[in-house]
Amino acid sequence: MWQIVVTQTAANMLRAIKDTSICNQLIARIDKLVEEPLTQGKALMGELRGVRSVRAVGQRYRILYTVVDQTITVIVVAVGIRRDGDKKDIYALAKKLIKLGLVD
């Protein structure tokens, strides 16, 4: 079993989601990461190398996380909607967070 840690940034993103049903589905999907997080989702490339992405809520939302083998920890770094080409796209937001040093 893996330990799940949700960063403050990801927790704020979850709180910003007004629809409690969607929020609950995202939390349930995050909870599933305790088992075999390396086989879930996909590894990202480029600026997001080292981050994994798993789909949630009808495949519209993404949960971005890293896996730390030494401590058996899954760190959820961002949660949001995939909006290809939009500045509010979760991947675009994650890149900004990394550039600002808000994500390890």
CATH code at 3-99: 3.30.2310.20
Rg value, the chain, Cα: 13
Task: Please tell me the predicted confidence (pLDDT) of residue 104.
Answer: 59
User: Bigger pLDDT: 101 or 64?
Assistant: 64
What letter does residue 12 receive in the DSSP assignment?
H
Each residue's pLDDT tens digit, 32-77:
999 989 899 899 999 889 899 999 988 889 999 998 877 777 778 8
| Range in 39-43, 50-54, 82-86, 99-103 the model is least confident about | 99-103
98, HSE (Cβ side, Cα atoms, 13 Å) = 17
| pLDDT of 81 over the 80 cut | yes
| Burial class for 8, CB neighbours closer than 10 Å (0-12, 13-18, 19+) | exposed
Task: Please tell me the predicted confidence (pLDDT) of residue 69.
Answer: 79
Helix, strand, or coil here: 39? helix
